[in-house]
Amino acid sequence: MSQIRSFLAIDLDDDFKPKINKIIKEFKKIDANIKFVDLNNLHFTLKFFGDIDTEGIDLISDRIEKVVNEPFNIKITGCGAFPNNNHIKVIWIGVESDELLVQLHDKLDKEFAAIGFDKDKKFSTHLTIGRMKSAKGKNQVKDVIEEFENVEIGEMNVSDIAFKKSTLKPSGPVYENLKTYDL
């Protein structure tokens, strides 16, 4: 029985990648140790499953298909850091008024809990754009985050979600859609 690393996500529309790339370029001007997410890998994670048996794919897929949801729009806006701007581990782009996205997450999380997955402690809607590997350049990184804290990326229609396989490679993760589900 083989295992795969997997997660459920909403892919970022290509239309928004140039705007996000401009922000990433501002961070790249800083002498900091940041590992940036490849533009083609940008996504909003709905559920991280971790390593699962390939036999479990159908079970997870059945639960995803049980969740009925209408397509909806999200407003992509703002830049911030986890856990906070003084201790930066993850640099992200956010979502304003994400109630419909949170509702979708909660419906899915309930289904996954029914088949043995832990419920998410705290769901935070965000698009990870980079991870800081050390405190080098932290103050300049903080300045750029604050410069873009109210940035408007745009409104995106969410009409499908993707069940993804993640293969870790030295160059970074490689994502492959196992299945896409229309909302």
In this prediction, residue 114 carries a pLDDT of: 96
In order of 32, 82, 91, 130, the CA distances from 20 in angstroms are: 18, 18, 12, 11
In this prediction, residue 172 carries a pLDDT of: 86
In order of 6, 25, 37, 107, 158, the CA distances from 131 in angstroms are: 20, 14, 8, 29, 25
**pLDDT surpasses 80 at 1:** no
| CA gap 66, 52 in Å, rounded | 20
**Single-letter amino acid code for the residue at 61:** S
In this prediction, residue 112 carries a pLDDT of: 97
In this prediction, residue 171 carries a pLDDT of: 85
Q: Give residue 156's pLDDT band: very low, low, confident or very high (50, 70, 90).
A: very high
When the pLDDT of each residue in the chain is averaged and rounded to a whole number, the result is 95
CB 154 within 8 A of CB 19: yes
In this prediction, residue 128 carries a pLDDT of: 97
Question: What are 21-48's pLDDT values in tens digits?
Answer: 999 999 999 999 999 999 999 999 999 9
Question: What are 74-115's pLDDT values in tens digits?
Answer: 999 999 999 999 999 999 999 997 899 999 999 999 999 999
User: Catalytic site residues?
Assistant: 43, 126
Q: Give residue 159's pLDDT band: very low, low, confident or very high (50, 70, 90).
A: very high
